[in-house]
Amino acid sequence: MSSTATLYEFERYPYEVSESDSFEDNTFRLTGKTLQHLENINENERFFEINRKYIKPLGFVGVVKAGSITLEIFPKLYRDGHSKEHKKIVAGNLLKMLSMTNRLSIKESDFAGLDLAELDLFEVFIRIFARKLSALIHSTKVREYKKQEQELRFIRGRIEVRQYANPARLHIIPCRYHELSADTMIHKTLKYSCHLMARKSQNFGTIRLLRSVVNSLDEVGSEPVRVVDIDRIVFNRLNRMYEPFIRFCRIFLSNSTLTLQASEVESFSLMIPMNTLFEEFIAVVLQSDPRYFFHCTPEIEPQKYIGNLATKEHSRGVFRLIPDLVIRHHSSVFVIDTKYKILDEEDRTFGVSQADMYQMYAYVTKLRAKAGVLLYPDIDDREYGTFFFECVGPAGEELRIPLYIKSVVLSSDLNTPEGWAVFRESLSASVHAAFN
């Protein structure tokens, strides 16, 4: 019997080896085989810190299935373990961030009617995926021309003359032609993934939706699909609507040991890096209403390549410089970099890492920026402080460039008008500080 463990990133959960898998009182009891599954999932990307005493999620949120236990990992939006008391808000905020960044093709209306306090994260993801894909697949299918070689009793396409030389079989014509077919890699990927998801889901409504997709693709082959096969898919204007679903399938299949033949789904992971999600979310929000946040209409450039940190022989650049956000207004330039970690106001440097400081120094001096902002998530508005970079300007003048250490509230309910207003006000106060 499968059980679900609700975890929060960066918290430690002790474990002991047992004959069966369970999770009670924040403690794991896991079989040696399940521990090995977790280690295998951890090989390509370090989702967890696993030592002899505890398991700690590391900066990723989502779902991991190992053995007979499912781990759902949520962002830690509250201090001192209070996230457990606000699971519905935390889950809703995570889905809100995903919906705005379009990472999993989720919209607010997709999860509005779901019981986020009761459903585990895997069921939420799969239900939304199945509902949207079912509506799309029943309205349109992607067809491609595929080369066919067959012996026919009539001419179709081009006759293969070299094979048409037996006088006793002149009534059989070897032909080569192209036929419009639905047996595409896009459909194969969707059919294979939906089949595996249906075997794992425990929600009858979700299973019914997934099976309806599989049934509607009856003419499509049922062979297993590899991640390398998915990466060969080329999207164009005719099949672009399927790209978010294929991206979701790739995430689902990339760290899994699921097969059509297996009697049990042994392990899989559907994990999202919170650092990247936080960065993309902040960029989308700022771009959506720049006048509100900056009190002007600046040019906002996310992930802007600004050059290299150094050069080597033949003037070849090394160590690319790509800040999260470059803000330009008239002749002034500002840099914002997001960092997904909780700061420590008692620490002398607030917990800002030395590497982050060096990185921001490189950004602001390369761009000759007026100011920089390091933006962190938090549960309330907190005043951290300001650092200053001492450097020399283009005319030899001494410059003192401020670096503001700011935070933005992510613990309010982003799916309510009141909570969204608190978040926007917090973000505006943080980023506008650099423009004063």
Residue range 268-280: average pLDDT? 85
167-170 contacts at long range (C-beta below 8 A, 24 or more positions apart): none
What does the pLDDT look like over 194-214, one tens digit per residue? 998 888 787 888 899 999 999
Amino acid sitting at position 253: L
pLDDT of residue 168: 67
pLDDT of residue 258: 47
**Residue 193 token pair:** 């993934």
pLDDT of residue 260: 43
Instruction: Name the percent of the chain lying above pLDDT 90.
Output: 30
What does the pLDDT look like over 15-50, one tens digit per residue? 999 999 999 988 999 999 999 888 888 887 889 999
Look at the block and give the residue holding tokens 């001492």. Answer: 390
Whether 132 has a pLDDT exceeding 60, the answer reads yes
pLDDT band, very low/low/confident/very high, at 85 (cuts 50, 70, 90): low
Please state, as a whole number, how many other Cβ atoms lie within 10 Å of the Cβ of residue 80: 6
Name residues whose C-beta falls within 8 Å of residue 268's C-beta, 6 or more positions apart in sequence.
Answer: 41, 64, 65, 200, 252, 253, 255, 256, 257, 258
Strands 325-329 and 299-302: antiparallel
326: β partners: 301, 335
Check: CB of residue 228 under 8 Å from CB of residue 149: no
**Residue 435 token pair:** 């423009």
Distances (CA, A) of 41 to 121, 150, 199, 269, 373: 18, 45, 20, 7, 35
**Residue 358 token pair:** 């060096």
Question: CA-to-CA distance for 422 and 324, rounded, in angstroms?
Answer: 23
Whether 178 has a pLDDT exceeding 80, the answer reads no
Whether 398 has a pLDDT exceeding 80, the answer reads yes
Of 287, 283, 264, 266, nearest to 275 by C-alpha is 283
pLDDT of residue 317: 79
pTM of the complete model: 0.75
Reduce the DSSP state of residue 247 to 3 states and report it.
helix
Q: What are phi and psi of 124, to 5 degrees?
A: -65, -50
Strands 398-409 and 385-392: antiparallel
pLDDT band, very low/low/confident/very high, at 265 (cuts 50, 70, 90): very low
344-347 contacts at long range (C-beta below 8 A, 24 or more positions apart): 345/382, 345/384
Where are the CATH 3.40.1350 domain residues in the chain?
289-435
Residue range 188-197: average pLDDT? 91
Q: What are phi and psi of 67, to 5 degrees?
A: 60, -130
pLDDT band, very low/low/confident/very high, at 113 (cuts 50, 70, 90): low
pLDDT of residue 259: 45
pLDDT of residue 282: 95
pLDDT band, very low/low/confident/very high, at 344 (cuts 50, 70, 90): confident
Q: Domain 289-435: which topology?
A: Trna Endonuclease; Chain: A, domain 1 (3.40.1350)
Percent of residues in the chain assigned helix, strand, coil, to nearest 5: 40, 25, 35
Please state, as a whole number, how many other Cβ atoms lie within 10 Å of the Cβ of residue 328: 15
Indicate the average pLDDT of the chain.
83
pLDDT of residue 261: 44
pLDDT band, very low/low/confident/very high, at 65 (cuts 50, 70, 90): confident
pLDDT of residue 295: 87
Distances (CA, A) of 409 to 17, 282, 383, 421: 39, 12, 12, 11
pLDDT band, very low/low/confident/very high, at 171 (cuts 50, 70, 90): confident
Whether 328 has a pLDDT exceeding 60, the answer reads yes
DSSP codes, 95-157: HHHHHHHTSS---HHHHTTS-TTTS-HHHHHHHHHHHHHHHHHTT----EEEEEEEEESS--S
Question: CA-to-CA distance for 296 and 348, rounded, in angstroms?
Answer: 34
pLDDT band, very low/low/confident/very high, at 114 (cuts 50, 70, 90): low
Check: CB of residue 10 under 8 Å from CB of residue 76: yes
Instruction: Return left, alpha or beta for 150; rule: phi > 0 is left, psi -120 to 50 is alpha, else beta.
Output: beta
Whether 220 has a pLDDT exceeding 90, the answer reads no
pLDDT of residue 81: 55
Residue range 134-151: average pLDDT? 79
Lowest mean pLDDT among 53-67, 83-97, 99-113, 179-193: 99-113
